Each structure stands twice: as C-alpha cells, then as structure tokens.
Structure 1
Amino acid sequence: MAPSVNVILKNPLLRTLSRMMFSLPTFFPFQDMDAEGKDFLKRRGRWSVGRGTEIDIWKDNWVVGIDNLGRHGEGQTRRGEGWDANRIKELFPGNIAELINRTPISLINKKDNFVWPYRLDGQYSVKSGYHSAKEEKDTKEEIKFNKASTMHRILPVNINLYQQRCAIKPSCSICQGENETVEHALLLCPWTRAVWFGSSLQIAPTANNVSSFEKWMIDTVRKIKSGTRKEQDRILCKESAHFSANKNQSRIEQLATEYHNITEGCSTNNIPRADRYRERRRITWRPPPQNRLKVNTDAAYHRKTGTAASAVVIRNWQGKIITGTTSRFTTTSAIAAEAQAYREALIIIKNLQILNCIIETDCLPLVQAIKARMPIAEADAIIRDILQLLDEFLDVGAT
C-alpha cells in the first residue's frame, strides 16, 4: 500500500499507513467527467494538508511549488505535531525536503482539502480549467516541436547547411571558432553561453556537460523540476527557441551587453531590496475600549529563502503589554506568513482563555478572506484553522 502524507507528520493520532482511493471534493464537477477530465483535475490541482490521510505521499500534488514527488522511499513517523523534519530529511533530497517543510499545514481543522491553485480562492471554475488545460497543451506542443527539430537535425545551422551545399563553410558565423552544430549554436557558442547565464535559468553550458542537445535538455528539465520552478517546461522551450530565432549580430551584441550589465553587480544586488527590508511607514496604535484587549499580529517574509518571522502582542486599553510571542519558520508566501501569525494569535487566545478581544493585522487580503469566510489557495490550511478558531470564540473581533 502506498503511504499517505501523515507518514511524515508528527501527530500521535496519525500513525496509519492506510491509503484510500483518490476522491475530489463536491465543488469539483467530476460526476459528469470522463477519465481524462478527472486525470486533468488530479494532475493540475493541489491538496491542502490537514491530517494527510487522504493524500498519497508519492502520487498526489501536495507540496507547494512542485508536482508529485515520485517514489523515494517509505517509513514510519515519530510522535509530535506538524512536519517531522528529521524524517523528511531521511526520505527526500535537500531541496524537496525544504519545500515540504515550507508547505502550510493545518493544526486545528486537520482536514485534507483539494484546492485549485489557478484561482485565488482555490475553487475550480470552467474558465480557469480551460486556460490551465490550454496552457498545458501548448507547452507540450512547443517542447515536442523543439525536440523533433533538434533530434532530426533540421535546424538551419551551418554544419547542416554546409553538408547540403547551402553554406560556404561549416564554422560558426558569430564566433568563427567552431563548427556551428546544434549544440554550438544553442549552447556552446561564447555569445549564447553568456545569454544562458544571464537568463532566468542562470545556466552555464560547457563542453564538459553538453554531449548532445537532446540529453542536455532532458537533464536540464529534470534539474529545474527538482528545483521547483513553476512553468519549467515553458521557460525552457521559450529560452531555446529564443536563441535559435535570434542569430543576427546586433541582437547578439545587445544580449551580451545585457549579460555583462547583469553580472557586473551580482555580488551585491542578487537579493532585491524589497526582500531584504520591509517598507518603512508610520504606524499609529489605536487602543481598544477599556473592557477589551487588542491583539496585534505581524509577519515578515523573505521570498528567496522562504524564511519568515511572526510576532503577536496583546495589550490593554492603556497600551500595557499583557503577553506576546515571536517565532521563526519557513513558508511559501507573504500571505501564508501573515495567516500563520494570525493563527498563532488565536491559539494564544484559546490557551489563555482571553475573552472579548480584538485581533488586528495590517494584511488587508487576509482580513477580507476571513470576513468573507473564503480561504485563499496558497494559505488554505491555515485559514481554515483560523475560521474554525473564530467560530469557537464569537466575541473575538477581526480587523
């Protein structure tokens, strides 16, 4: 039997390895779908992790940023709460283990929920399904065409033109150093190598790691997928098509200039300022009524590393601090970090039995989602916890 996601959860109540059949929630119109449609929803949708018992750890999509994991190993879990970081490190390579630890998980609601990541609210719609299916189809066709073109050696590189007596010499018309093969034109020419390195992929092809374009592309796609970049196939085929379509000297010189400009200050400018520092702004704290407490939450998130920090402060109407907490963690987005801080505040309120209080956050999308009782796809598990906790404390106000 295939293990479910609870095999890597630290929850003493969830030690079963039983695997149930995949099922879609009621808001997905699967009753009238054929097998291909159901497979599409399963392939493109994503699970929000609660207990983990409804999710196949290897076959289902549940880690934010990548598709299904494929099989790497199986095992038991130890007691506790949340992700079992040590067990995850044993089962998965470093980059995947890091993403699993970032994936939000429910601590209160603990129900697995299938979400549609192509809408903000996680709800499937025919329109979003159509665009997702079309994008998937277009990407496959682009990759298929590029593979066929190179595998059959039909690209008009000089070596092919020379063999067909359509070119005077087989050497590269740009660098004049090597014969212009497919590998040289798309990967190994000094000019195109500079462009590859300056692109969003930041790849440096060399004669040592390129034996054939076909093998290089397959290996690169595999590495990109393991690195969890979104739309990886589309990125790759667009990059390769871009190089083969722009052969004129002026364009190459422009790309080389851009490459040098990008790499010149890479040591100091590789992290956007917006990711290093939060915007400084004046904040005025407003006291609650005399008979109430105010709970303020805030979070900071670093997109490149996935690290986040949250703070919760509880004060009375005079501004005196009653209690508070801070924490550091990894997550998938800024909204998920803000939601986690909000959930932490509610857990403190519940544990301390604080009645008649107000929770305040500066994250407007989160407040709107809570008041509308509409989860956000990227923080679905956390927001469902928040809604359940708010139902238990009706005298807690959310602003």
Structure 2
Amino acid sequence: MDMLESNFIGFEAAMVSTIPLCHTNQPDELIWPHNPNGEYLVKSGYKFLQLEEARSRPGQSDFENLKPLWQSIWSLSVSSKVKHLVWRAAKNSLLMKMSLVRRKVNADDCCEICQGQQEDVLHALYRCPKLEELRALNPLWNHSRLKQTTSFLDLIGSIFTENRESAFFSMANNCAGVGVAIRNGCGQVMVSLSQQIPLPSTVIEVEALAARRALILAQEIGFTRVVLEGDSQTLITALKTSSHTLAHFGHIAQDIRYLASSFSDVRYTHVRRQCNTVAHSLTRQAILSPFLQVWMEDVPPELADVLQVDFQSLD
C-alpha cells in the first residue's frame, strides 16, 4: 500500500487497492472493459464513442446515460406503485408545493410537515427533518454524501451507484461482503464463513471471489468432493467451460479452476437467489463486521431462523 500511495494520487491508490488479485501465476492481459466478456467488438466500440460524444454535450438530457437508472428503478423488488412513485420523482413530475407556486396555483411553498423549508421532491422524500428516523433505518447508506445532492434524480442515482447490490455493498466503508455455507448431502451446515473484503468494481467479481473463498474453505476443511452452488448464471457458465475468458473476473475464474484440480470431483450448479438465503445473510453479516468469522457445523445465532426456514424448504 505504501508503494501505491507513493506512486499514485490518493483516490487512484484506493481504486487500485480494490482490484482483486489472482492467487496463481497468470500473464497480464489487455481486456475491453465495455463488453461483459472482455472482448472488443466494433458494435461495443461504436456505442462507447456515441456515449462519450453525448457526455461531452453540456446541458442535454441524454436518454442513454439515464437508461441504466430507469432500468434499476423498474427492477426493484418492491410493489409497482412504489416503482412508479420513484420513477415520477426522478423525472420531477410529482406535484410539490414549489411547482404549484410556479404555476400560480398556490401562494405558499412551505412544507406542511416541518414548517421550515420549501417543499420540492427532494425535500418531501428525503431531506425533511421529520424523516430523520427513517433515514436512520438505512445505516449502510452514506447519508453525509446523499445530503449534498441537489435533486431527487441525483439522490436516487447516488443510491444505486453506492449500493449497487444491497446484499453485497456498503460504500460507507468501501467494502464488500463474502458469505459461504458448506452443507452435507442432507442439507445440514458443516461450516459457514463470513468475511469482509475490499469493494471490487463489479458484482460479478464479488460472486467470483465468494466462489474462490468457498473452494479454499472446503480445501482447508478436507472435503474432496464438492458441488459449488451460486446464483450468478454468468459465473457458473464460465466455470463450466474450460475455455479462457477475458472478462473482468477471468483471472479469479482461473484460480477457481486451479483449486478445483485439487479435488477428486467438483461440479458447478446455478441456483436461484431464494435458494441461497443463508449465504446471502452471511454476506450481510460480513458488511457489518471487519473480522473473518467461521462457524463449525453452525451459523451465527442471529441467522438460526434463516437457516431453519431454508432447511425446511429442502424437504
């Protein structure tokens, strides 16, 4: 870390330090970061140049730049009316007192709840002092940063950027979590693990790091035959093929293949997220604790109910 800080600016050194390192000797490779598989395509290059040109035009509302935000809003696991509310708020199409005053419908733009500030979308849904208790329910959000946003669009964009995957990420302390649960053939937990790691740049890298950590743990315990389950179809598909990949997680996938060679049998299986609740709960546990924690034939006491429900679903 000292070498990084002496050769890079502070924020650059912090970014470099979060790059996941491989455990095996692998050659350096050039990859194309604007395509999920790391390979350059003319189509992806053309799209990249279009986006760069659009970003260089000041004052324009670029649909392509906001498209990922709209997709994130409509993919939320909430009711349709909540998605619609967030979408309308981001588009500033909710009737607030400030907009009614501009239209000369109202003469007063003061918030009726706090009676102290003007009521716009950002104030009504986030900044109002009366919402402080609700804000406290989300300790993983970087509220000091969010309070600096100037519109609800900026606010919701920052939330999605800083909490890209609520089960994995906490930008407040720039970390990610890894959770591993190893079961026997009857579904009983033999060992579980919760570990905090530096925040990588993509969710798929966290999935790959979790898979690698699971095999390392299985190797340390002494298992020889394992079935590696994960809810990332992309990662599982990549591991099932022996061909080399230039994707962001390619070097970690190569580590996993190397580890797999030390077992007598390794199989890779894709499962739905609801079938992986114990591992995800362990991941959330890791975000809140900086220490590596391992439980033999058990899980943390606070996850006992999650384990019980998960175990019953196997029957």
Q: TM-score, normalised by structure 2?
A: 0.49
Structure showing greater radius of gyration is: 1
Bigger helix share: 2
Task: Name the TM-score, length of structure 1 as normaliser.
Answer: 0.40
